[in-house]
Amino acid sequence: MSTEQEELYVRVDGYKVLLQDLEAVRQIIDNIEEASEVLSQVREVKEKSIDTIYENIDRLNEKLEDIEIEMPEVEGTQVATYKPPEDAQVEEIDDSVAELHNELEDLQDELSGLGNE
């Protein structure tokens, strides 16, 4: 027989177990990829949250400056403090914080789903 015609057969005992193990490894890799994507989304939400905080702080500072400019200076008298009526409704300025909260809840649900797979 020439070397080109020689064949080698190898019997693999337990090949079904080997195939199951390979499938388990593939599922683990898929779970890692999915968890990595969720982590990326969490980072994005965190960055949006930080940006929202800074934007709201800037807006607050602007409003405080406006109030300070408009506030009359009276020397020798006490300044009365303002208390809004209890039934006064606060105007909703920005719902971005609520949106971020919803995104975080969605991500938490997604992460919980990963643990159940």
- Entry pTM: 0.50
Domain positions in the chain are 14-67+98-117
pLDDT at residue 78 in the model: 61
- 98-102 average pLDDT score: 77
pLDDT 10s digits, 80-97:
666 666 665 555 556 777
Token pair, residue 26, equals: 């593939």
Q: Rounded to an integer, what distance in angstroms lies between the CA atom of residue 80 and that of residue 68?
A: 14
What is the DSSP secondary-structure string of 48-90? Answer: HHHHHHHHHHHHHHHHHHHHHHHSPP-TTSPPPPP---TTPPP
Cβ-count burial 17-33 (b if 16+ within 10 Å, e if not): eeeeeeeeeeeeeeeee
